[in-house]
Amino acid sequence: MGNVAVDVARILLSPVDRLRSTDIPEPVIDCLSKSKVKNVILIGRRGPLHVAFTLKEIRELSKLHITSSQSKCFINLLPKDVFSVTMGTSDQIQELLSELPRPRRRLTEFLLKMHNSSDHKTNHTAYPVYHCNLQFLRFPKEIVSYGEHHSDKNRSIVSHIKLATVKLNGPTGPHQQGVIDDTQPLETLPCGLVVRSIGYRGVRIDPDLPFDEQHGVILCKDNNGRVVDLPQISYSFSLSPMYCAGWIKRGPIGVISDTAVDARQTAETILKDLSEFEKRGHVDVLNKRGLSVVQRYLNERNIHVVKFKNWERIDEAEKLAGQILDKPREKLTTIQSMLKTAFTDVEQPK
């Protein structure tokens, strides 16, 4: 379970009036306003100790409907004994928590507190009740449809999903591996909508690229993004001519801000290396003609480049459209509309 899965649950269960002031596009708001979803189940292959979402994201989900007297949202962690099964007795859990890094410890403590306070209660009041279950130790095996002959056009073609039970191998901790328990029967979970959020894995885009197939990342010399030298190419200098950043460098870890920090780190490394080359008077750096050659290359091939000033037009147009709707921005949702706006002057409202 990651941030995307939690975000999907939060949006599906949020009161639509709460979303109108956000930058969610109006067609999406219109669709959500017609939603009848009241129960969301997040499927996780391992346990609470292995979730990939952040404390901020799960805390926001837990606060849904908290100020509303018209509806309530209940969050449960399943199975009911998930903490004892995956982490042991109360004493063992406390000992394990004390050994975790602070961010992971705070997140796990929050989940434990939420689990203990929910007590898997049901509610019988008259106002709408929403449920979000975090179902751990399950592996989706098959999505089953109603078949070709189902006649209700307003009904989802999804009938149910089959889940296998997972058991954890290895010492209790963040590095445990989940394997399907073949001794347990498959479970059937009725549902009308399935949203896939199973993570990201980098792939090799060039056969000559140094690549770690096991972890799905480019092989680097260090944490600064310097790619290891290609063995079939002989370089006359010691510093790497190739760099990478983001998830292809370190794996699918963190949120956008983490990736931005990582990209800046790699960019600073490139500038540092170039400066070092220049100090040495290296011919491969001093003889490079720079951006002008790239621009000529693009012009010869009639390739239109979206420059920063073009992006600023998109940004301005979205914000102006948002002002009319009393929201931060109204997003352009197609590449065609973005490109049209990027190369057209934005008209200010009169």
Q: Encode pLDDT of 172-200 as tens digits.
A: 888 899 999 999 999 999 999 999 987 78
pLDDT of residue 68: 58
Q: What's the DSSP call for residue 350?
A: -
Categorize the per-residue pLDDT at 135 as very low, low, confident or very high, splitting at 50, 70 and 90.
very high
pLDDT at 91 over 80: yes
Report CA-CA distances (Å) from 201 to 41, 141, 209, 249.
24, 20, 16, 11
Crossing angle of helices 102-118 and 55-62, in 10° steps, is 20
pLDDT at 154 over 90: no
Give the mean model confidence (pLDDT) for residues 111-123.
Answer: 75
pLDDT of residue 287: 75
pLDDT of residue 92: 94
Q: What percent of the chain has pLDDT over 70?
A: 89
Q: What percent of the chain has pLDDT over 90?
A: 62
Hey, what domains does the chain have and what are their CATH numbers? 3-190 (3.50.50.60), 211-288 (no CATH), 291-350 (no CATH)
Give the mean model confidence (pLDDT) for residues 153-179.
Answer: 89
Contacts 24+ apart (CB under 8 A), 78-82: 78/133, 78/134, 78/135, 78/136, 79/135, 79/136, 79/137, 80/120, 82/47, 82/48, 82/115, 82/136, 82/137
pLDDT at 255 over 70: yes
pLDDT digits (tens, 9 = 90+) for 191-248: 999 999 877 889 999 888 899 998 999 999 888 999 987 765 555 445 557 899 999 9
